[in-house]
Structure 1
C-alpha cells in the first residue's frame, strides 16, 4: 500500500492551496490502496481541527507533538507543505510528493500506482 505523510498547517498559504488539490487526487484514486496521514504544524488545537475537517484522510493527534517532531526529523522536513510518499515497506519513494501530485493532476493522471 502506498502511503503519504502530509506535513502542513492551517496558517500556511501554500498549504491551503495544495490541500484541496491533494484531496481531489486522493478522492479520485480512493479505490486504490493509498493512505495519507496529516502531520500538523498548527499552533493550536482549534486551528488543527478546523483545517483537518477539510481532509478526507487520517491525522496524527495534535497533542502528540513528540511524534510530530520525530517524524519531521526522520524525514528531514525543512518547510511546509511537505508531502512524503512511501512504498508498502515504508521506504521513501518521493520526498517531493507535492510536485509529483501537481504534475499528475496537470497530466490527468489520478493513479497512485505509478509511484
Structure 2
C-alpha cells in the first residue's frame, strides 16, 4: 500500500492496526470520547468522503463537538463540503518563488490542477516525474498546474522545484501544515490535488498518473 503523509493528532498505536469498519464501529460506540475525533480523521485518510465523516461527527456527543478539537474538526468538515466536485473552487493567493503575489484567478479560463505537495514529502517527490510528463503532454491544450507547497523554508522548496524540473507556477505561505490554501481545501494529507475547469468549478479530486491523464484526455479532446 502506498505510504502517504498525513496530518493527524496523536492516536494510540493500536488504531493503525484497525480496519476502517472497526474504527467506524469504535466511533459509534464511543460518542462521548474526544478521541473519537482522531478516529474520524483517520477514517477520512487521504481521500476523505465528506458525507461519511460528517455523519460520524454528527453522532458524537454535543459536548465533544463543542470542545476546541471538535470545533476545529467542524471547520475542517466545512472546508471539505465547500470543495466537493461541482463546487466553485475557493480563491488562492500566495507568494510565488520570486516573492510576488500570485492568484489562482490568474489562471482563469484554463483547466488547472492545484497540486498540494512539499519538498520534504517522499511520495510527493516520487510522483514528480509522472506529473512532469502529464504537464508536457497537456500544457499546450489549455491546461496548467499550480503547485501549493506545504514547506516551511524557502530554500528546500525552491531546490525541489528546480531539481524535479517542476516548470509550472508555484506558491506557498511557508506555513507547513497550516498553509491557508490547504486549510481552505481541507487538505490533511499530501500529495493531494484538485482539478478545476475554465469556469473555476471543481471537476475532480486526487487523480494521479494514468487516472489524471485519462481525465485530462477526456476533458481536453
The corresponding residue for 1:87 is: 197
CA shift at 1:43, angstroms?
2.8
- Bigger-Rg structure (1/2): 2
The corresponding residue for 2:183 is: 73
Given candidates 136, 140, 163, the residue that maps to 1:27 is 136
Contact 1:7-1:83 at 8 Å conserved across structures: yes
The corresponding residue for 1:55 is: 166
- Say how many residue pairs are matched: 106
Matched, 1:16 2:125: yes
CA shift at 1:64, angstroms?
6.1
Larger relative contact order (C-alpha < 8 A, sep ≥ 6)?
1
Higher helix share: 2
Distance 2:182 2:152 in 1: 16
Q: TM-score, normalised by structure 1?
A: 0.79
Q: Which runs of 5+ in 2 are unaligned?
A: 1-109
Matched, 1:45 2:154: yes
Runs of 4+ in 1 over 4 A off after TM superposition: none
Contact 1:32-1:113 at 8 Å conserved across structures: no
RMSD: 2.1
CA shift at 1:104, angstroms?
5.0
Q: TM-score, normalised by structure 2?
A: 0.44
Distance 1:104 1:63, change over 3 A: closer
Distance 1:55 1:89, change over 3 A: same
Deviations 1:58-108 (A, max 9, x none): 011x4465xx7331122111211011100111111111122xx33355xxx
CA shift at 1:113, angstroms?
4.7
